[in-house]
Amino acid sequence: MDNLTNKTWRPLRPGGSKIMKKIKTGKLIGVSLGPGDPGLITRQAWELLSQDHFWTYPVRARKSDSYALSIVLRAGLQLPEKSSALVFPMTHDLEKLAKHWLIAAETVLPILQSGQDVLFLVEGDASTYSTFGHLAKTVVGLDDSIHVETIAGVSSFNAAAARLDTPLAEVDETMAILPAGYGIPTIDKLLDDFDTLVLLKVKPILDDILDLLEQRDLLAHTQFIEKAGTEEERIVKDVASLRGETVNYLSLMLVKNVRRVRGEIKRGCRKKPDEMAEATN
């Protein structure tokens, strides 16, 4: 994508004709930081953070702290003067969200159009349930000359599996990852289809999930973790003990569905009739 825009006119000489000069726009870069452990920041992300770029970071409200920013600060980097918080409220109201996506996009767009790269700090991985995708789409919708780049990172569920010393999937196992907010009927159905379920953001319906796992006799095969990799990390193996508790927003459950009945697995490619005939000759 050509990221040249912003036509600027400059005179060749006093009173003479003018020429058009194009300014190269900056890139909007989603910088994945991992789920909380500064040691999981990738070298590529670190290199960008160490350069002279404009930082932006998400906050839930204007005066609230940014979890993504805290990861970087705990890594020993300093917040540059060229930086701005972008407000993304915790709501499912699409109209309110769209309004804040637009405000955020209009905040970073002039900076990008001036030729400055803008980093958007993202906890976890920027391509997985991240606000960055909405910001990027809105910015490009306002100016399709803007180039967007995503720096991959360690997702919360990968880090959680490592901390729990539990593989997400082995050999022919299947796995599903979803926000618990999709509801109990959806989770119940997916337990029939997948060997491993990763339930993100379990806080709102934790007790309902525990009821379902108890009915399925899967409580003993479920583990809970919040704030994986941070100093406040908490791991709970006896998940039934969480009943009635208000857990952290940054929490997930890893369910190993050992009672799932699997279907037949077809392996390899079926040979063509002529190939089979040749093999028997």
Contact 251, 201 (CB under 8 A): yes
* Full DSSP string of 242-280: GTT----SSEEEEEE-TTPPP-PPP-S-PPPHHHHHHHH
* Residue pLDDT, tens place only, 123-181: 999 999 999 999 999 999 999 999 999 999 999 999 999 999 999 999 889 999 999 99
The segment with the largest mean pLDDT, out of 180-184, 259-263, 272-276, is 180-184
Buried b (16+ CB within 10 A) or exposed e, 89-121: eeeeeeeebeebbbebbebbbebbbeebbbbbb
**4-154 and 157-256 agree in CATH topology:** no
* Residue pLDDT, tens place only, 85-114: 999 998 888 899 999 999 999 999 999 999
Superfamily, domain 157-256? Tetrapyrrole methylase, C-terminal domain (3.30.950.10)
pLDDT of residue 168: 95
* pTM of the model as a whole: 0.82
pLDDT higher than threshold 80 for residue 53: yes
Please say whether the dihedral angle defined by the alpha carbons of residues 120, 128, 227 and 44, taken in this order, is positive or negative.
Answer: negative
**Residue whose token pair is 């010393």:** 165
* Chain centroid, CA 78 distance in Å: 23
Domain ranges of the chain: 4-154, 157-256
Return the closest-CA partner of residue 69 out of 79, 61, 60. 79
Domain 4-154 has CATH 3.40.50.720: no
Return the closest-CA partner of residue 156 out of 82, 108, 226. 226
Label residue 7 by pLDDT band (50, 70, 90): very low
